[in-house]
Structure 1
């Protein structure tokens, strides 16, 4: 019979010690890493909670990154909007009616300053952040506008704004000496005391007859405006002035005219006994036919002056509306000549100023670009360069940039040959008359220059008036909406930070350890392991042989 040397069950003892050693190793790793497990498979019953919290934290990180990106874009937009508002204020201050500056300095510097502002506006509207353009709505991959030089002067054989402005002024009859503003005055030989003023057709160009009145109702009969064809409501209009007696000097005939941009002007002709009469006056005469002829001459001259001042300014701003349209497609005078209609550029003969997202009538440009801030909230921050605030800035500065206003010195230089010729005449009435004619030319043309400047300045002030601040798409409204978006982002960011802190604490509780508890467990396990080693050592030495005597 074989008797075992040891009666102690070694396999069982070593197995228990091995398990304690594994447990000690696990506790040591936990103490070193601060985590309950080194991989998800070791998480046990805490695994579902760990996965859920980590998934939520991952979403928060994504939203936070999105918020940071949008905040960067909004900061650029905010700086741009502040500068747009400043440019608006600068433009209002730069051109004031009647403010020509010393020696007409404002007349000389106005176009250059407007060109610089226009260039800055275009540059900012083509702003991009990290390859993404900010002012084209959903179209973020390309600049929404051509450069400022192309917009003003054209390129590749296509008309720019300057070229379209010239077409529009020609269509409006700005420089038409025979029919200024496309109005024609006539005297029928059968009624020599009657002057008729007639539009040249039904179209959107030139002066439109609006009102007529007189302060001499007993000696001057006025009529109209009436249709040239009473059966056709779209026919042209006409007015009549009939002289039935001798007006008193100082009495006035006033003709109201509507211009292409919807504004009104008046031509006033004052009766006078002077011959020749001053500008804006007609010489009275006992013969009604002669007086009608005098009135017609004065009317034609005043219409010409109004065409080269008020109408020219209105035509320039109308051209700005035609070229810088909301849909980016220029409207070009068509038909004729002279032109009879405005038509969208179907032949691609002009530069299309805006190639970003146009949108649909009544939609909200802000919603063209959105950013999610969490599962249920989003921020809208899209901006389009064709919104009303930008259009007012672009149109007004383009119109001012392409317009020239000769100073008195410029006008004198233009007619200096007349002065030299007059001075070359012998002293006497001939020289005096020639010099007076020279001075009259200078004064008349300089009045037209300042009149044109005043018309342009008045329209710029109207376009950039603070009264437009409450309109949808104004610089101020867009700035406010960007501020609201920025505030929403800040609120979402703070909300995410607070929630993230809570989730991280929960994840720490789920995946982390209590270091004190783990250290105590290690000490306890160490004590048990040492005791096991000692007991195993002693018991393993027991043998029945040692007790058989």
Structure 2
């Protein structure tokens, strides 16, 4: 008779016992592995329903680790940037205070101010080339290129392109003109063959090119004589487009001491200055040839004295007020490049970094969480920084030597132009389409706040990381005490099962009868 093996007598019981033994053996192996490795399972599939949670937690932990690395690197860069910009702001503030204090001191130490400003300018330029781990801090989105040329190239050029010194000198020369009087033409009364003036009229006119952009030199915008019915008359005529503005000054009779002549002159930046000459009593000498003139023996002699004084006054004004204006304008234009009209073809461009139209802060950002990033970008040519550099350059290149007879006036004029530029260290330099432009100190504050945000994010991320690690440990790690208890239980059950199975395997009819 043929017997179907799976359905043979006793086969089911035997199969079930074998299966139970195998199950217990597998459990024993799993628990032994858990005890040795400390893990619940060797694969995510072995975690059962916890595998989805474990996979999600691992992904989040990996992201948090990346955020932590990014935050750490960004904080280092930001802290160095804060230190560097603080130094630039300090240089600007100190230079401004020194200029202001210098106005109160006698004698004016122009040479010291000039030397200090040049040293501070070079220090500021070097500071703007700071880098961390090979990444430059002040190049906006471009962190791989040195953002600022070296100080020597900026000041002196590179052989084919002029530097700041020549750029400023060219602008000053263009403004003061060949006669050193602001490009004005002055005509003295006509003389007879004996050198005696035929009339007592003096004419003064400006250069028509001074009215056309780019502006250079003085533009005459007004003239007046006091008292109105005094011995001096001033007739101002505004020229039409492309024509000179002119003033005719006539000593039609002898003035008296205290009578005065005032000219109003417009500078290329549309600000104005005045030149006033006051008559001094006959036989006396004016305190300064650029502020007064002596009353002569007759109207002709007085006209000659007035003409000479006017020549001296215009030269002094051009050498101080106009020169200071030229220096500051040229320095500002240079350090605004490539945002301004400075041409790279003939002038070095000091800033080599990224120069987009976006907010500088947005040029560099660090992801601090899944839905949040912190902006930490800076450009070395931001308006406030450029202004501080221009202010330092104005002092460094515009201050006179201590031997200059007009040193006090030049110092005052340079100080008047440099201080507003240097104030950008801690005062907003103006407004843009998006609102007030930040000062250097404002940018320091923005970066400091960004650093604080990153620190707070790092703290939050660390707490989340700890929570996730605890959750993951509860899923992936096998508690030693629990595993040992289970292992002992399975071992006991397996041993008992082996013993029962062994006993049953010895049963037979002979053993049973006996």
Structure 1: which 5+ residue stretches go unaligned?
Answer: 2-6, 332-343, 412-444
> What is the match of residue 52 of structure 1?
56
Could you say if the C-alpha distance between residues 59 and 22 of structure 1 is closer, same or farther in structure 2, counting changes exceeding 3 Å?
same
Q: Does 1:16 align with 2:20?
A: yes
Distance 2:492 2:275 in 1: 114
Give the 3-state SS of the residue equivalent to 2:392 in structure 1. helix
Q: Does 1:248 align with 2:256?
A: yes
> What is the match of residue 4 of structure 2?
none
* TM-superposed deviation, 1:494: 2.3
Of the three residues 259, 284, 289, the one matched with 2:295 is 284
Q: Cα deviations across residues 231-289 of structure 1 (Å, max 9, x unaligned)?
A: x3x53322232333332202222222233344433211110134574322222246434
> What is the match of residue 406 of structure 1?
401
Q: Does 1:294 align with 2:305?
A: yes
> What is the match of residue 268 of structure 2?
260
Q: Cα deviations across residues 354-397 of structure 1 (Å, max 9, x unaligned)?
A: 1212223xx42211222222232221221111111111111121
Could you say if the C-alpha distance between residues 137 and 319 of structure 1 is closer, same or farther in structure 2, counting changes exceeding 3 Å?
same
Structure 2: which 5+ residue stretches go unaligned?
Answer: 2-9, 191-196, 430-436
Could you say if the C-alpha distance between residues 119 and 195 of structure 1 is closer, same or farther in structure 2, counting changes exceeding 3 Å?
same
> What is the match of residue 123 of structure 2?
120
Which has the higher mean CA deviation after the structures are superposed, 185-194 or 519-528? 185-194
Could you say if the C-alpha distance between residues 466 and 353 of structure 1 is closer, same or farther in structure 2, counting changes exceeding 3 Å?
closer
Q: Counterparts of 1:351-366 in structure 2 under 5 Å?
A: 351-360=348-357, 363-366=358-361
TM-score by length of 2: 0.86
Of the three residues 216, 223, 230, the one matched with 1:205 is 216
Q: Counterparts of 1:412-427 in structure 2 under 5 Å?
A: none
Could you say if the C-alpha distance between residues 467 and 358 of structure 1 is closer, same or farther in structure 2, counting changes exceeding 3 Å?
closer
Q: Cα deviations across residues 13-68 of structure 1 (Å, max 9, x unaligned)?
A: 45533431221121122233332101223223322222122112212222222222
TM-score by length of 1: 0.81
Of the three residues 509, 522, 525, the one matched with 2:487 is 522
* TM-superposed deviation, 1:91: 0.9
Give the 3-state SS of the residue equivalent to 2:29 in structure 1. helix
Which has the higher mean CA deviation after the structures are superposed, 460-469 or 502-511? 460-469
Could you say if the C-alpha distance between residues 191 and 381 of structure 1 is closer, same or farther in structure 2, counting changes exceeding 3 Å?
farther
Say what the alpha-carbon RMSD is for the aligned residues. 2.8
Q: Tell me if the contact between 2:385 and 2:424 (Cα under 8 Å) persists in the aligned partners.
A: no
Q: Tell me if the contact between 2:180 and 2:319 (Cα under 8 Å) persists in the aligned partners.
A: no
> What is the match of residue 346 of structure 2?
349
Give the 3-state SS of the residue equivalent to 2:216 in structure 1. coil
- Paired residues, what number? 485
> What is the match of residue 397 of structure 1?
392
* TM-superposed deviation, 1:451: 1.9
Could you say if the C-alpha distance between residues 406 and 145 of structure 1 is closer, same or farther in structure 2, counting changes exceeding 3 Å?
same
Q: Counterparts of 1:294-333 in structure 2 under 5 Å?
A: 294-327=305-338, 331=341
> What is the match of residue 180 of structure 1?
181
> What is the match of residue 377 of structure 2?
382
Q: Tell me if the contact between 2:380 and 2:386 (Cα under 8 Å) persists in the aligned partners.
A: yes
* TM-superposed deviation, 1:181: 0.8
> What is the match of residue 66 of structure 1?
70
> What is the match of residue 148 of structure 2?
145
Q: Tell me if the contact between 1:97 and 1:454 (Cα under 8 Å) persists in the aligned partners.
A: no
Could you say if the C-alpha distance between residues 300 and 116 of structure 1 is closer, same or farther in structure 2, counting changes exceeding 3 Å?
same
Which has the higher mean CA deviation after the structures are superposed, 10-19 or 280-289? 10-19
Distance 1:514 1:547 in 2: 48
Q: Tell me if the contact between 1:328 and 1:353 (Cα under 8 Å) persists in the aligned partners.
A: no
Distance 2:348 2:167 in 1: 10
Q: Does 1:369 align with 2:364?
A: yes
> What is the match of residue 432 of structure 2?
none
Q: Does 1:77 align with 2:77?
A: no
Q: Tell me if the contact between 2:175 and 2:217 (Cα under 8 Å) persists in the aligned partners.
A: yes
* TM-superposed deviation, 1:95: 2.3
Which has the higher mean CA deviation after the structures are superposed, 114-123 or 368-377? 368-377
